[in-house]
Amino acid sequence: MQTHEIRRRFLDHFVKAGHTEVASASLILDDPNLLFVNAGMVQFVPFFLGQQTPPYATATSVQKCVRTLDIENVGITTRHNTFFQMAGNFSFGDYFKREAIKHAWALLTNSVEDGGYGFDPERLWVTVYLDDDEARDIWKEEAGIPDERIQRRGMADNYWSMGIPGPCGPCSEIYYDRGPEFGLEGGPEADEDRYLEIWNLVFMQNERGLGGTGKDDFEILGPLPKQNIDTGMGVERVAFLLQGVDNVYETDLVRPVIAKAEELTGRKYGVSHEDDVRFRVIADHARTAAMLIGDGVNPGNDGRGYVLRRLLRRIVRSAKLLGAEQPSMREFITVVRDTMAPSYPVLDTDFERILNVAVGEEAAFRRTLVSGEKLFETAADEVKSAGQKVIAGSEAFALHDTYGFPIDLTLEMAAEAGLSVDEDGFRSLMAEQRQRAKDDAQARKHAHADLTVYKEFVDRGETEFTGFAELTTEASVLALISGGVRVPVATVGQEVEVILDRSPLYAESGGQIADIGVITAPGLKVRVRDVQKIAKKLWVHKVTVEEGQLTEGDAVLAQVDANWRAGATQGHSGTHMVHAALRQVLGPNAVQAGSLNKPGYLRFDFSWQGQLSEAQKQDIEAVTNEAVAANHPVNTFVTDLTKAKQMGAMALFGENYGDEVRVVEIGGPFSMELCGGTHVAHSSQIGPVTLLGESSVGSGIRRVEAFVGLDSYKYLAKERALLAGVATALKVPSDEVPGRVEQLVERLKVAEKELEQTKAAAVLAGAGAFVERAERIGGLLLVAEAAPQGVAGNDLRTLATDVRGRFGTEPAVVVLIGSADGKVPFVVSANKAAQDLGVKAGDLVAAFGPSIGGRGGGKPDMAQGSGSDASGIPAALSAVRARVAELAG
């Protein structure tokens, strides 16, 4: 049975049983505890916590999930995956244990012809919580499972919680016996490879308190108001069982990626464990990376972006180790699209953007590998020069952690160079890093924000937003909230949250910041500083009482600051215009990746590889302003999501839209986007748009910023005044300023070059004096002196090299320590004859560096660095002499 069919049967089964089918949430949710959605129940947490009343009593979904805690084990075992699909059914105070068990058993054991999966009931085992006699009895009564195939397990295995205060409860897990060839007899307690868990039914009935990091070290506070059901069936696990293969990597949605890797590398899967690990890494990570990019994640150096970057780089590394010399990411991502798109259409509709991000990161990492190889060669040369055979674990860790160079490539290159790596040292440092990451993640976990105070008003329905049609609205004060609790009244100076039944003030969303304004009544004036949404439907006004007394139940007048709103609509409509212009100039791959707009200003992030040229920026600005000048009408209308997409409306990736959406159309086909923000009536009202600049905000993501309207005019007026001042100073017309400045810059470069030459000549003029003052220690000559004041950097290195060269073939060492700009630069240079006597430049740095608070390094013939304590220069020079005397015998 194909995986797409397994998904469909699950959903159909529960829809027929009265459940509402709910689409998978994005992998990115606004949850402080989660990097990515990692379980099917995550989007339903507010319902389980009782903070919101669910719009349905029962639900079913197939949620896309990503877990990355065990990323290092992916491929090594066949049980670890980063991306997986969790099919689940949920009850919010409706049915409980008996119905949940009946639903699961029917789907698993009903025949394929009857819509089930057709599992042999005799091969199914279950586990229950230690004292859950009720669940045990239901399994016996409803499924006929005998006592010997029901096992009791403790909290660590059969008691579920989110790991933080919140809902929890005992659970019952369903296992499939794969047969004696896969392990020991004795059920799940004996062998969880043979007895594979495929479904977990959580009887969510209690509330847990604080606890430690373990799964069983928390206090159970008491029962929840309602008994809920949260179940999860692993789609991939069921797939490999029903497809008769040994593991998820051989299923219909994963094996094709391995087949493509075989084709590109010439290696075969199933021949060696080492190669199999690499094939699995490619297959697993390619799926995960495509899904993450599809939901709006871009490679970066922290958080979600760093996880994606690691996944993509592990693909490149594994392909390289399998023998792929040419880039291969395009082929892998294409196979993922072809196999996964039937269930996740975004992989098809947004394919070019997804592909560009993945391929761009591959290209960047391949350049990193080239740099890493050079760094490795330097490290290997130093090890060989020291007469050693082992590259330190710290060196391997630095290559891995700082430069992104994989350890297995380091091991392979070390073997080719006749060296080995201190793997124990490397693993120890990696373990320390992982522990720091886990500690950091745990420290950032906390209980979900308690939104219970808003529940009554969320349940009443959406706040009526009147701001599209008017700026002033009569309203009633439904509630005042301070410090998370309702209060009856707020007085002068008090800051509270106000819930109104209707409001013209825009609540921050879609990149547009909130309106500001006032709430008034006779004798009352309240300043609105911010407006936020709760549960995407309740407007919460953050206010300060300036006059009078605000009381729950008051009839008030809510008013938007008209100037603020005018500027905000200019900024938001300007964002749409810039987006359309970007796509017209750069092509359809320039897709929105985020935005911010406020009065007079807009910021727009978009997917793109590489810096924009001046010509491209000028074209984008020109296209935008031409559309502004065309005075296009701005039309808004509400339609269903399917029709909007058929019309060509742009949607923000990773965003979940309802069945009905609002479309903003400017100039017909010029710009059409799904948007809930406020806009101008005609494009000319945006006013001039002036691009301020363009920059990178992450791998494959660029940012443009612009002023609009009056702010644009003020900026241009300031630039014009600046240009006029420069023209006056240069005594040329304004249009000749660029040429004149270019001439001056060229003259300055020539003058600086001449100055450098003069300076270098002056420095080298003193080289002879250093040679004359050379000390003979043992069988070599030593120059150990303070450099002339102000000589630093390349000049110091040039001087040391010149002095060393004047000694010819006679063993000589030159140590010069300078002092410039509060720093203490130094250079150590040893010729070949000195090195043959055992003197290495790096060794001398270690001898005198502490005296000046410095450190540095380099090759045996040349080392340099910098210190911070000039008072230690005499002691440093003495240390050099002592060390050279020791080496010279």
Confidence at 771, pLDDT banded by 50, 70, 90: confident
CA distance linking residue 293 with residue 355, whole number of Å:
9
Least confident segment among 17-21, 317-321, 477-481, 695-699:
695-699
CATH of the domain at 545: 2.40.30.130
**Among the ranges given (148-152, 660-664, 729-733), the one the predictor scored with the smallest mean pLDDT:** 729-733
CA 142 to CA 156: how far, in whole Å?
Answer: 26
pLDDT at 768 over 90: no
pLDDT at 447 over 60: no
Q: Please choose, from the candidates 679, 683, 757, 715, the residue with its C-alpha nearest in 3D space to the C-alpha of residue 506.
A: 679
Examine the pLDDT at 863 and tell me if it is beyond 70.
yes
Question: What pLDDT does 5 receive?
Answer: 96
601 sits in which H/E element: strand 601-607
Query: Which tokens is 770 given?
Result: 């250093």
Collapsing DSSP to helix, strand or coil, 417 comes out as: coil
The arithmetic mean of pLDDT across residues 309-323, rounded, is 90
Look at residues 398, 484, 423 and name the one whose alpha carbon lies nearest to residue 449.
484
725 assigned to some structural domain: no
Q: Which amino acid is at 210?
A: L
State how far the Cα of 302 lies from the Cα of 26, in Å rounded to an integer: 20
234, containing H or E segment: strand 218-234
Question: Which residues are 521's β-sheet partners?
Answer: 524
Q: Indicate if 355 and 237 belong to the same structural domain.
A: no
- Banded pLDDT at 446 (limits 50, 70, 90): very low
Please state the length of the chain: 889
CA distance 119 to 121: 6
The number of folded domains in the chain is: 5
Mean per-residue pLDDT for 831-858? 85
Of residues 846 and 584, more confidently modeled: 584
Per-residue pLDDT, averaged over 651-677, amounts to 83
- Asked whether the beta carbons of 82 and 284 are under 8 A apart, the reply is yes
Is the domain of 522 the same as that of 497? yes
pLDDT at 765 over 80: no
Question: Among 443, 462, 485, which residue terminates a domain?
Answer: 443
What count of other Cβ atoms lies within 10 Å of the Cβ of residue 342? 15
For residue 398, pLDDT beyond 90: no
The reply, when asked if residue 572 is annotated as ligand binding, is: yes
In this structure, is residue 730 part of a structural domain? no
CATH number of the domain that residue 841 is part of: 3.10.310.40
Residue 7: CATH number of its domain? 3.30.930.10
Q: Say whether both 506 and 569 belong to one domain.
A: no
Q: What is the DSSP string of 680-745?
A: -SBGGGG--EEEEEEEEEETTEEEEEEEEHHHHHHHHHHHHHHHHHHHHHHTS-GGGHHHHHHHHH
Q: Are residues 619 and 674 in the same domain?
A: yes
The answer to whether residue 443 scores a pLDDT higher than 60 is no
Whether 178 is covered by a domain: the verdict is: yes
- With respect to residue 317, please indicate whether it lies within any of the assigned structural domains: yes
Q: What does the pLDDT read at residue 368? A: 78
Closest CA to 239 of 401, 496, 5: 5
Q: Between 96 and 864, where is the model more confident?
A: 96
Task: Report the 10 Å Cβ neighbour count for 470.
Answer: 10
The alpha carbon of 88 is separated from its chain's Cα centroid by a whole number of angstroms, namely 27
Write down the pLDDT at residue 214: 64
Segment 503-550, tens digit of pLDDT: 999 999 888 999 999 999 999 999 999 999 988 889 999 999 999 999
Task: Please report the pLDDT score of residue 269 as a whole number.
Answer: 95
Q: How confident is the model at residue 439 (pLDDT cuts 50, 70, 90)?
A: low
Residue pair 535/499 in contact by the 8 Å Cβ criterion: no
* Residues 439 and 374 occupy one common structural domain: yes
- 576 marked ligand binding residue: yes
- pLDDT for the residue numbered 760: 62
| 818-834 residues labelled b (16+ CB within 10 A) or e (exposed) | bbbeebbbbbbbbbebb
Mean pLDDT across the stretch 859-872? Answer: 87
pTM more than 0.85: no
pLDDT value, residue 557: 97
- pLDDT tops 60 at residue 75: yes
Number of Cβ within 10 Å of residue 269's Cβ equals: 19
| Angle between helical axes of 562-586 and 709-730 (0-180°, round to 10) | 70
Q: How confident is the model at residue 444 (pLDDT cuts 50, 70, 90)?
A: very low
- At 323, give phi and psi (nearest 5°): 110, 5
In 3D space, the residue among 111, 129, 113 whose CA is nearest the CA of residue 121 turns out to be 111
- What local confidence, expressed as pLDDT, does residue 449 receive? 59
Last residue of a domain, one of 205, 224, 246: 246
| 590 and 467 within one domain | no
Average confidence (pLDDT) over 591-607: 89
Least confident of 252-256, 649-653, 837-841: 649-653
82 pLDDT higher than 70: yes
Specify if 579 maps to a domain: yes
Q: What is the mean pLDDT of residues 447-458?
A: 75
Whether 17 and 101 map to the same domain: the answer is yes
At residue 637, what are phi and psi to the nearest 5 degrees?
A: -155, 160
Q: What is the spatial distance between Cα 210 and Cα 213, in angstroms, rounded to a whole number?
A: 10
The predicted structure's pLDDT at residue 104: 97
Determine the pLDDT at residue 839: 87
**Strand ranges (DSSP E) for 120-165?**
124-129, 150-153, 159-161
In a domain, 758, yes or no: no
Q: Calculate what percentage of the chain has a pLDDT beyond 90.
A: 53
Q: What are residue 522's phi and psi, to 5 degrees?
A: -50, 120
Amino acid identity at 669: P
Tell me which DSSP letter residue 572 carries: H
Q: End-to-end alpha-carbon separation of the chain, Å?
A: 79
pLDDT at 131: 92
Main-chain dihedrals φ then ψ at residue 602, nearest 5 degrees: -145, 150
Which residue reads 């049609």 in tokens? 469
Task: Give Cβ neighbours of residue 256 (< 8 Å, ≥ 6 apart).
Answer: 335, 338, 339
Q: How far, in Å, CA of 589 to CA of 614, rounded? A: 19
d(CA 583, CA 221): 55
Q: What is the pLDDT of residue 857?
A: 65
20 in the same domain as 164 = yes
Residues 431 and 477 in one domain: no
Consult the annotation and say whether 80 binds a ligand.
no
Reported confidence tier of residue 154, pLDDT bands at 50, 70, 90? very high
103 is an annotated ligand-binding site residue: no
Q: Does residue 830 lie within any of the structural domains?
A: yes
Return d(Cα 535, Cα 454) in angstroms, integer. 9
Q: What is the pLDDT of residues 776-786, one digit of tens each?
A: 988 889 999 88
Would you state the structure tokens that stand for residue 279, as one six-digit string? 């094939």
One domain for residues 470 and 534:
yes
Q: Are the C-beta atoms of 235 and 62 separated by less than 8 Å? A: yes
* pLDDT value, residue 212: 65
Q: Does residue 528 share a domain with residue 605?
A: no
Q: What is the pLDDT of residues 211-240, one digit of tens each?
A: 765 667 788 888 888 899 999 999 999 999
Residues facing residue 640 across a β-bridge:
660
Closest residue by Cα to residue 43 from 28, 56, 58, 57: 28
Helices 737-765, 793-805: axis angle to 10 degrees equals 40
Task: Show the tokens assigned to 783.
Answer: 């120059």
Determine the pLDDT at residue 33: 64
Question: For residue 453, what are its two tokens?
Answer: 């105070």
pLDDT value for 395 = 83
Q: Sorting pLDDT into bands at 50, 70 and 90, what band is 762?
A: low
Give the separation between CA 863 and CA 178, rounded to whole angstroms: 63
Stretch 664-669: mean pLDDT, rounded?
90
Range of the domain at 456: 452-560
Last residue of a domain, one of 560, 585, 617: 560
The token duo for 579 is: 């987006």
What's the one-letter identity of residue 579? H
Q: For residue 111, give the DSSP letter.
A: -
Q: At 606, which CATH number?
A: 3.30.980.10
Share of the chain above pLDDT 70, in %: 94
212 and 276 fall within a common domain: no
Tokens of 710: 């009056």
Helix 273-294 vs helix 351-385: crossing angle, to nearest 10: 140
What is the three-class DSSP state of 866?
strand
23: tokens are 């689409």
Is 105 part of a structural domain of the chain?
yes
pLDDT tens digits, 405-431: 767 778 877 887 888 888 888 888 878
The chain-wide mean pLDDT, for the chain, equals 88
Instruction: Give mean pLDDT, residues 817-821.
Output: 82
Task: Say if CB 442 and CB 518 are below 8 A apart.
Answer: no
Q: Which of 556, 560, 559, 557 is nearest to 569 (CA)?
A: 560
